[in-house]
Amino acid sequence: MALKKFAFKVLNKEKYARSGLIETHRGNIHTPAFMPVGTQASVKACTIDDIKKTGSEIILSNTYHLMIRPGIERIKSTGGLHEFMNCDLPILTDSGGFQVMSLSKLNRIDREKGAIFNSHVDGKKYYLSPEESIKIQLGLNSDIVMVMDECPKKNTDYKYIEKSMNLSLYWAERSKSAFGHNPHKALFGIIQGGLFKDLRKKSLDGLIKIGFEGYAMGGLAVGESQNEMFEVLDYIKNLLPYNKPHYLMGVGTPSDILGAVKRGIDMFDCVLPTRSGRTGLAFTWDGRINIKNNKYQKDNTSLDSNCSNFNLNKYSKNYINHLFNTNEILASMLLTLHNINFYQELMSAIRKNINHGTFNEFHDKYIDKL
């Protein structure tokens, strides 16, 4: 029996904000969607069953980390990443370009060979070409595959960003050739160009000419302000193909997400809800809470009385404060799950308001609160 083809359609829209549906052979993804990050085949401090109960419909994992540990052959021997981590949700894998920039102890970029870098774990040398990145992602059996790109840090040097953007376009073309014919999977292109509008347009035009199932905004969340990010999105929102998913990589805070949805973005990922959960920061409908603060030692109210899932409200701020102060593992587990659940409740509310034509009011109510 043939696997279901990857497909996307817009269901409703309010100005540029869109609610839509991504169809994959592993299940549907309602957009705008937030993808919890399972970098190393694990969403930290959470089981896949709990992730699914939050309403998450897709997760993200990472080529760079998995090629280093445990290695692609070990995962392939189990049947692929889904079997390895016991996950029946769709999985998107990043190409590894961002991690090459941010984590490796030593790296250099070669136009033909790709990224040449030393592992942040043991210093071992690796070569990650566009073809190798796609080969690894197909070996992982990812449902959404990302092209190999160069992801520069924030930089105001036009020539530097232009050179990097042109390299990413060249690698995108090679990634597309290496991906081949896989109609039940999707290959997304990554738009680069920093904060320069003309370079963003040139990048997008080149990617559209190559042809992809989705288009991602890369090179943001790398040091620019929220306003700078929104300015880039305000420009590109008129140029993105309407009938393809729009993905903003590595973003972000709840207010980042609200502002990006308003500008036509459909997909998000970020480590913030899990990382914050491990360090004592909770996201709630009333704003952020640093649960380690001493003022919560006598507060027997729940983290968020509006939480409608998991019965997480049975744990008081007083109790969770105690767990963090005594370094109990349960603290990270409870707060991480709470944060992921909050993000998914936010996404559900965003979709509902777009469908009802009330998203702008919802956006204005929470953009400065969350």
More confident residue, 125 or 31: 31
Do 227 and 189 form a contact (C-beta atoms < 8 A)? Answer: no
Instruction: Please confirm, yes or no, whether 299 is among the known catalytic residues.
Output: no
Which one of the listed residues 49, 94, 256, 364 is annotated catalytic? 94
Q: So what's the pLDDT on residue 101? A: 66
Residues 6+ apart with CB under 8 A from 147: 95, 130, 133, 134, 168, 171, 172, 175, 176, 187, 188, 189, 190, 212
pLDDT-based confidence at residue 264 (cuts at 50, 70, 90): very high
Q: Which residues pair with 20 in a beta bridge?
A: 10, 31
Q: What percent of the chain has pLDDT over 70?
A: 98
Domain boundary assignment for the chain? 31-270, 271-370
Q: So what's the pLDDT on residue 306? A: 81
Q: So what's the pLDDT on residue 131? A: 97
Which one of the listed residues 234, 269, 304, 364 is annotated catalytic? 269
> pLDDT tens digits for 173-195?
999 999 999 999 999 999 999 99
CATH classification number, 31-270, choose in 3.20.20.105, 3.60.150.10, 3.40.50.11260, 3.40.50.300: 3.20.20.105
Count of helix runs (H) and strand runs (E) in the chain: 14, 16
Do 246 and 265 form a contact (C-beta atoms < 8 A)? Answer: yes
Q: Report the C-alpha gap between 163 and 156 in whole angstroms.
A: 13
pLDDT-based confidence at residue 127 (cuts at 50, 70, 90): confident
Q: Report the C-alpha gap between 203 and 168 in whole angstroms.
A: 8
Instruction: Please confirm, yes or no, whether 94 is among the known catalytic residues.
Output: yes
More confident residue, 21 or 118: 21
Q: Which residues pair with 18 in a beta bridge?
A: 13
Q: So what's the pLDDT on residue 170? A: 98
pLDDT-based confidence at residue 113 (cuts at 50, 70, 90): very high
- Give me the mean pLDDT over the 158-169 stretch: 96
- Through-space distance between the first and last CA atoms of the chain, rounded to whole angstroms: 46
Q: Report the C-alpha gap between 255 and 252 in whole angstroms.
A: 8
- Give me the mean pLDDT over the 83-100 stretch: 90
Residue 104 has pLDDT above 60, yes or no: no
- Give me the mean pLDDT over the 223-252 stretch: 96
Residue 118 has pLDDT above 90, yes or no: no
Q: Report the C-alpha gap between 264 and 260 in whole angstroms.
A: 7
The pTM of this model reads 0.97
Q: So what's the pLDDT on residue 86? A: 97
Q: So what's the pLDDT on residue 32? A: 99
Question: Residue type at 232?
Answer: V
Structure tokens belonging to residue 258: 């609200």
